[in-house]
């Protein structure tokens, strides 16, 4: 049934929100102040038409917008978009009673995302490669993408052909592509066990197409050139499918904030260190102890340090910080702590940091809700929150990165 609605505001996921009978209705691609018609299904509705558009409505940058599921809010003009995205961090902090002046959003340029998590599927009509439509299993083939670096978009045909070679299943599978400094790092998963014929064909095609590495379910099929990323003075080859920051410019902004805050630190703990995004830059001015639960990522960090020059000592420790966080006594040997956990945050580790005497802490997060929770713990433990800066690493989505910087006065002895 089609109904007329008045949009009150934007929700946390970029949907237009309607206040109705004490509840809310969420309408994707609708903007505050608009009058729309939509087909309602419980608390969600599908936009049918915009009767009275907002003056902030603009033409989207991509023809796939509203279909592919990758972007939520290309139709909002830039200044309003930035205010909404910054507001996601402000709202999360206020929800935990944290009153701090949140910095302006650090913008993310178009054509800058170097990492794409595609879905691929082999069908009777051929191999489809793209994104799943929002709230659907429908796969939308991608012909353009203003978010991704041009190199990935231009190679869509090559990548689609490679996905077709390795597809040994009719089910959808993950096809992760990272544009590194030495070529594409392609990590596929759930595409079926590769036969010897598939291995040979994929190897020949990857070499011919100058793909740096192809891996399937973590196994390297072919690696003509090691995929490389530069972290300060070090060069790192991340393991297949490893986490790396999606946008180099966003990574640079985060690194600048963190290293600036740690400029007086002489010994720093980098928790949830990954392949060394922060650790290897911090090592230019401080000794660093990098702690990470994933052994391959930690090994990549260690190799990057050992082949670099001009860095202070970097030590590594494999440890599941969710199950066994560093205790406050272990942390007290450091004068700086950086932590960049997954979306679930670092609640238990934050409790230990809060009990410590470490003067400088930098918290990096891609989830404002868990960041606010962890900051509340640190503030209650005596830390002063000096600044929070939101960073738009995930352009036109509801995801936002943030860097929070904290200090704790030294105890008088």
Residue 399 in tokens: 């995801």
What is the DSSP code (8-state) at residue 57? B
Per annotation, catalytic residue among 62, 145, 191, 366: 366
Q: Give the residue-averaged pLDDT of 274-285.
A: 98
292 labeled part of a ligand binding site: yes
Does the annotation flag 272 for ligand binding?
Answer: yes
245 annotated as ligand-binding:
yes
Element (H, E) at 239: none
Let me know how long the chain is: 413
Residue 54: HSE in the Cβ half-sphere, 13 Å Cα cutoff: 20
CA distances in angstroms from 238 to 107, 112, 155, 235, listed in the order given: 26, 19, 21, 10
Nearest to 160 by CA among 146, 178, 143, 183: 143
**Which DSSP state fits 13?**
T
Mean pLDDT of the chain: 96
pLDDT in tens, 92-146: 999 999 999 999 999 999 999 999 999 999 988 889 999 988 777 789 998 899 9
- From edge to edge, which strands make up the β-sheet containing 23-27? 2-6, 35-41, 44-52, 23-27, 16-20, 9-10
- 352 token code pair: 């230990």
pLDDT in tens, 366-394: 999 999 999 999 999 999 999 999 999 99
pLDDT of residue 413: 45
205 labelled ligand-binding: no
**Distance between CA atoms of residues 278 and 147, nearest Å:** 24
Domains and CATH numbers, the chain: 1-56 (2.40.50.140), 84-108+247-407 (3.40.50.150), 115-222 (2.40.50.1070)
Q: What CA–CA distance (Å, rounded) separates 21 from 301?
A: 54
Bridge partners of 41, per DSSP, are: 44
Task: Respond yes or no: is residue 71 known to be catalytic.
Answer: no
Positive/negative CA dihedral, 204, 208, 212, 215: negative
Name the region of 135 (left: φ>0; alpha: ψ -120 to 50; beta: rest). left
For residues 347-361, average pLDDT: 98
Distance CA 306, CA 301 (A): 9
Tell me if 220 sits within 8 A of 238, measured CB to CB.
no
Cut 0.75: pTM above it: yes
Report the run of H or E that residue 238 belongs to, with start and end: none
């Amino acid at each position: 049934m089609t109904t007329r609605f008045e949009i009150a505001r934007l929700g946390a996921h970029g949907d237009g929100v309607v206040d109705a009978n004490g509840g809310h209705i969420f309408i994707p691609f609708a903007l505050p102040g608009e009058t729309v018609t939509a087909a309602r299904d419980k608390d969600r509705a599908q936009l049918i038409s915009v009767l009275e558009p907002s003056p902030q409505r603009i033409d989207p940058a991509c023809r796939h917008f509203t279909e592919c599921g990758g972007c939520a809010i290309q139709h909002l003009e830039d200044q309003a978009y930035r205010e909404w995205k910054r507001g996601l961090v402000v709202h999360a902090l206020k929800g935990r009673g944290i009153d701090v002046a949140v910095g302006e959003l650090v913008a993310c340029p178009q054509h800058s995302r170097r990492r794409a998590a595609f879905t691929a599927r082999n069908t009777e009509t051929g191999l489809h490669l793209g994104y799943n439509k929002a709230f659907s299993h429908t796969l939308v083939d991608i012909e353009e993408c203003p978010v991704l670096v041009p190199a990935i978009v231009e190679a869509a045909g090559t990548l689609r052909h490679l996905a077709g070679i390795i597809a040994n299943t009719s089910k959808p599978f993950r096809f992760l592509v990272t544009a590194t400094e030495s070529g594409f790092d392609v990590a596929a998963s759930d595409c079926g066990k590769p036969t010897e014929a598939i291995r040979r064909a994929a190897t020949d095609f990857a070499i011919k197409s100058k793909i740096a590495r192809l891996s399937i379910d973590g196994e390297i099929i072919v690696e003509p050139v090691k995929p490389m990323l530069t972290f300060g003075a070090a060069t790192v080859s991340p393991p297949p499918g490893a986490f790396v920051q999606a946008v180099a410019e966003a990574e640079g902004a985060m690194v600048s904030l963190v290293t600036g805050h740690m400029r007086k630190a002489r010994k720093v703990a980098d928790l949830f260190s990954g392949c060394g995004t922060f650790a290897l830059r911090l090592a230019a001015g401080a000794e660093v102890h990098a702690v990470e639960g994933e052994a391959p990522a930690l090994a990549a960090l260690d190799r990057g340090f050992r082949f670099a020059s001009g860095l202070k000592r970097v030590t590594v420790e494999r440890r599941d910080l969710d199950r066994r966080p560093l205790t406050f006594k272990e942390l007290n040997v450091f004068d700086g702590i950086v932590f960049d956990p997954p979306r679930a945050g670092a609640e238990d580790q934050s409790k230990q940091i809060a009990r410590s005497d470490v003067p400088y802490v930098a918290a990096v997060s891609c989830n404002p809700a868990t960041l606010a929770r962890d900051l509340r713990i640190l503030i209650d433990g005596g830390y002063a929150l000096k600044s929070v800066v939101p960073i738009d690493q995930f352009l036109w989505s509801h995801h936002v990165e943030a860097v929070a910087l904290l200090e704790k006065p030294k105890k008088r002895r």
